[in-house]
Amino acid sequence: MVDQVSAGDFLVFRIQGQEFCLEIGAVREIRSATKTVPLPNSPVEFKGLINLRGIVLPIVDMTSRLGLVVVSPAANPVIIVAESGDRIVGLEVDIVDDIISVSDAEIQSIPTIPTGGIQEFVRGIVNISNRLICLLAIDRLLPAEKAAAE
């Protein structure tokens, strides 16, 4: 389950008190959350669409995407505009913390203990100055490619 994760810079953000990160190369920009236009018949974690300077951008609510329990709703949620291949998506998170530099030694594989549904999105664990940060796999956060037959 652990693909090759290499050292580098990662953007750290918080969802319901837990820390997560993404490789900085996958992040295009960060903006504050705005009202979305909901798309009918879509999964709950898919909040809707926004206009990102002329691009119709889908917004994924990361709390429900990761299956986390809402402890307290975020006061000022933030959207991380991220890229995966040629797809671009907005990830709505509670707050963006900082950017960290991580060495190979600080990246661990996911523990083999059962961690619930979340492990399917996690590529590895970053253990740095006593913080535990889950490194997310952007491609697994996106919905599956639309069937070619459609």
Confirm or reject binding of residue 53 to other proteins (CB under 8 A): yes
The pair of three-digit structure tokens given for residue 61, joined into one six-digit string: 């609510």
Confirm or reject binding of residue 143 to other proteins (CB under 8 A): yes
The pair of three-digit structure tokens given for residue 25, joined into one six-digit string: 């190369």
For residues 61-70, one letter each, b for 16 or more C-beta atoms within 10 angstroms of the residue's C-beta and e for the rest, the string is: bbbbbbebee
In the chain, what is the straight-line distance between the N-terminal and C-terminal CA atoms, in Å? 31
Among 69, 105, 113, 144, binds other proteins (CB under 8 A): 144
Among 3, 32, 104, 146, binds other proteins (CB under 8 A): 146
Confirm or reject binding of residue 44 to other proteins (CB under 8 A): yes
Residues of this chain, 102-121, that bind other proteins according to CB under 8 A: 120
| β 18-23/131-136 pair status | parallel
Nearest distance, CB of residue 150 and other proteins, angstroms: 5
Beta bridge partners of 122: 136
Confirm or reject binding of residue 96 to other proteins (CB under 8 A): no
**Residue ranges binding other proteins (CB under 8 A):** 37-46, 49-51, 53-58, 87-89, 120, 140, 142-147, 150
